[in-house]
Amino acid sequence: MMKKFTAISIVVFLAFFSFTVCKKKPSTPVAGKATPDDILNLVPSDVQGVFFVDFQRAMTSEIVNEVMQEEKTQEKLQEFITKTGIDPQKDVFFIAGALTEGMGEATQKGVAIINLRYDKHSLLPMIKEKMEEEEQVLSEEEYSGFTVYHSAKENDEGSFSFLDDSNIVLGQSDSVKAVIDVLQKKGDNVFKNKKLSDVLNKTDKKALFWGAFLFPPELMDKAASQNPMLGNLKAITASTLSFDYKDKNIIGEIKVMSSEQDKIQQIADMLNGLKAFGGMAAAKNPEVGELMESIEISTGEDHVRIYASVPEELISKLKTKVTPPSPPEQEE
């Protein structure tokens, strides 16, 4: 599981740099000294949710570092460093993302801001080379003093821009431009969105990964209509989530929020029922039972809290249970 996670992290990081741009402009947080709020200050107000990754802390954590030291991973890492001059374990600090529209739909739109230490003159040629290999056409547009790059392949449009020496923004064209507007004080940031800002204040921003989301009523109505047993989902208006890694434990917390206090306990009862159903598998698979036991469900004045602290060792056992054995190597 963790090997796959690390591989995906590297792939995602490489993919981010299939997009980028130029021109240094008004000051933004210095790479490495930014805080979550510094980066969120660049996120436009009209978003449905945000998520945040403390990328450097994740990449230098014990569980990831063990995988990073493997020979094959080191080879890929060194190749990436040579081409870009960027060491993901040292030079990438934060990744913030926002969902701008389409929550719960097949076609979603969003924007991401990467806070890092990089040299555009070393990075940009590699990006152009990669895009040429993928037969992508790269066009440029000047917008409010910035160069915005656009690329499209099979109707999948993506844009990006270098905000300064520490931050790169990428996403759909209108979302990238909205971030530039926020940077230049021509648009409001996410803290002006009172509903989402209130949810952000209840989020654990010290975790490796966290997020805060608003749920449109029509989305919850649709989810509830698909199963009568999930009717209480209509009462959920927002959610926070966080995941962390401490003392060889993977820690997760999800809060689902509602202003309807009478529904909160009903939602908790429903979740406890699902937990009990999952625990029935313990007779055949003790590890699943142990996982269910690690989950705590509690209620607050305006939320249901789902919390779990899962030992890394248990994750490894579960992985062994669900991963089919590799076929034996045949001798030549």
Q: Which of 173, 198, 213 is the last residue of a domain?
A: 213
Q: Is residue 241 part of a domain?
A: yes
Pick the residue with more confidence: 234 or 53? 53
Whose CA is closest to 179, among 195, 194, 165, 167?
A: 167
- Tokens describing residue 232: 């209480």
Task: Tell me which of 160, 179, 213 is where a domain ends.
Answer: 213
Examine the domain organization and report whether 220 and 208 are in the same domain.
Answer: no
For 81-124, write each residue's pLDDT tens digit. Answer: 888 888 888 899 999 999 987 676 666 789 999 999 988 888 87
Are 159 and 80 contained in the same domain? yes
pTM of the model: 0.80
Cα–Cα nearest to 25, from 176, 173, 162: 162
The number of residues making up the chain comes to 332
Residue 331: inside a domain, yes or no? no
- 4 vs 98 pLDDT, higher one: 98
Two tokens at 41?
């200050």
260/190 same-domain check: no
Domain of 277 in residue numbering reads as 215-321
- 85 and 75 both lie in a single domain: yes
Residue 332 lies in a domain: no
The predicted pLDDT at position 295 comes to 93
More reliable by pLDDT, 166 or 19: 166
Examine residue 327 and state whether it is found in any structural domain, yes or no: no
Is 227 in the same domain as 154?
A: no
The stretch 15-28 carries a mean pLDDT of 37
Which tokens belong to 124?
Answer: 């940009």
Please count the structural domains in the chain.
2
Instruction: Find out whether 128 and 145 touch, Cβ atoms under 8 Å.
Output: no
Beta-sheet strand order (sheet of 303-311): 137-143, 146-153, 156-162, 167-171, 109-116, 92-101, 49-54, 209-214, 238-246, 249-257, 303-311, 295-299
